[in-house]
Amino acid sequence: MSTENPAVRSVERLLEVLDLDFTQARTTEDIFVGDSHPMPTGRIYGGQVLAQSLIAAERTLPEDRAVHSMHGYFLRPGDASQGITIAVDRIHDGRSFSTRRSQAYQNGVPIFSMIASFQDEGPGVEHAEPMPSDVPAPDTLLPDEERVNGLAGGARRMLSERAADIRHIEQPLYLPGDADRTPRQGVWMRLRSPLPDDPRLHRAALAYLSDMSIQESILRAHGLFWSFPGLKVASLDHAMWWHRAARVDEWLLYVQESPNARGGRGLATGRIYTQDGVLVASVAQEIMIRVPEGTE
């Protein structure tokens, strides 16, 4: 099912990237192989390898044992022109919980390493931080690609043709313009066309989206933006906790803030809500951030 609509085609391409092949090659691990999204920088988008590593791990488990947490490290830049091999180690299977380690490889060396925990659904105590009450609805905001006058044509096209519809509540950080140095922001996001109903696919796609924009609360704190001269940013690690089920083809609010930056590193945290206020997931990521001396 292909389409000429570039945005819808980008979602189809995302589904292809997440559709890993299981190989017969095996040591003590399960081996999967997958493709990569082409990227303008030539480097693999971190959310892609997060989602692929999760999909691979979940393929070794019963469908009703769902991921509840993952902790991963980005070890090397990935080459977006090459495929990825993912090895899954079945570390532990208990009565209610399972643990898996996924490592993504290119050219024989690991580029990403993740440990994830999975649990059967069960009863228990429950509470959740409420969604902020003063957030504009997504249909009152323009898509990012319509708010970036002055951005180069290729970059603007990349925004409009990506799989996700992203709508910043504050000014998007692709260009300078927001002088308010506040280390927090809110972003509405959803995939541009419907996904199949498979909950595992929606959990993996949520991991894919969780790496988009979370670094920006750190940039905002220092008046930085993505095209700032000499700025260098790289994700170091990523942690995520899935709390409740949600569809990624429906609007989700990503509330982000940065509690700390020091020593060339910045920490960002985020909470993801459905449009009706249900807390879906929590995220934390630390990045390397380098700014030329004397430019802040």
The region of weakest confidence among 6-15, 19-28, 234-243 is: 19-28
Residue 110 pLDDT exceeds 90: yes
Residue-level pLDDT at 1: 45
Query: In the structure encoding, which two tokens stand for residue 145, read together?
Result: 């690609």
Known catalytic residue: 211? Answer: yes
Catalytic residue among 48, 211, 256, 258: 211
pLDDT for 65-103, tens place per residue?
A: 999 999 999 999 999 999 999 999 999 999 999 999 999
The answer, yes or no, to whether residue 7 has pLDDT greater than 80, is no
Write down the residue that tokens 């700390």 correspond to: 260
* Active site annotation includes 285: yes
Based on the number of CB atoms within 10 Å of its own CB, is 294 exposed (0-12), middle (13-18) or buried (19 or more)? exposed
Q: What's the pLDDT at 37?
A: 84
Instruction: Please state at what angle helix 199-210 crosses helix 46-58, rounded to 10 degrees.
Output: 150
Catalytic-labelled residue, pool 235, 256, 258, 282: 235
pLDDT at 40: 77
Output 98 or 36, whichever has higher pLDDT.
Answer: 98
pTM: 0.93
Q: Identify any residues that bridge with 255 across adjacent strands, giving them in sequence order.
A: 186, 271
**pLDDT of 152:** 64
What is the residue type of 247?
A: R
The model's pLDDT over 151-165, given as tens digits with 9 standing for 90+, comes to 665 566 778 788 999
What count of other Cβ atoms lies within 10 Å of the Cβ of residue 93? 14
Q: CA torsion angle for 239, 190, 17, 68 (degrees, to 10)?
A: 30
Determine if residue 18 is left, alpha or beta; phi over 0 gives left, psi from -120 to 50 gives alpha, anything else beta: alpha
Distance CA 93, CA 70 (A): 16
pLDDT at position 3: 53
CA 59 to chain centre: 20
Return the beta strands (E) in the chain as ranges: 21-22, 30-34, 65-74, 84-93, 97-106, 109-120, 164-168, 184-191, 232-242, 252-262, 265-274, 279-290
Candidates 253, 246, 256; CA nearest to 275 is 253
User: Which residue in the list 36, 210, 282, 285 is annotated as catalytic?
Assistant: 285
Respond yes or no: is residue 256 known to be catalytic. no
As a whole number, the mean pLDDT across the chain is 91
Confidence at 199, pLDDT banded by 50, 70, 90 = very high
Q: Which of 36-45, 192-201, 216-225 has the lowest mean pLDDT?
A: 36-45
